[in-house]
A = this chain, B = another copy of it.
């Protein structure tokens, strides 16, 4: 059993920018030559989240609209009064979706559904470079 601490980095545009990480995670799985186990995908920050979705433009927009409806960007947040970052909505959305997800793999392949992709959602209010941690555990 091995534990391999890995990561992927990419640029994001903020405001519910949803990035398909499936290919990046698959490449790291192959490079690490593991066959069976889990990969923990973790966002080391408080304005991004991870989940899965069928990554097609319609749903990407639908999910973005859902986030805007649940935690609107145009209402007052106490965070903004105190810190002036203007990204209170980003933080509460990130806490709602969560920073952590595990995906199992078997025979060297991620055990995803056919229409299911791993996505990072950038809830922040500005473009950034993001790093997402991948903790592989397996054989």
Contact surface of A with B, Cβ cutoff 8 Å: 1, 3, 5, 36-38, 40, 42-46, 51-54, 56-59, 61-63, 66, 70-71, 77-83, 88, 91-92, 94-104, 106, 111-113, 115-116, 119, 133, 135, 137-139
Contacts and interface: CB of A to CB of B under 8 A. Distances in A.
The interface residues of chain A, by DSSP majority, are classed as mixed
Given A98-B101, A102-B40, A54 B46 contact: yes
Contacts of A78: 57-59, 61-62
Given A44-B113, A46-B54, A57-B82, A62 B101 contact: no
Contacts of A66: 70-71, 92, 96
Contacts of A96: 51, 66, 96-97
B88 A58 contact: yes
Nearest to A80: B58
A53 B71 CA distance: 15
A5 B109 CA distance: 12
A53 B47 CA distance: 8
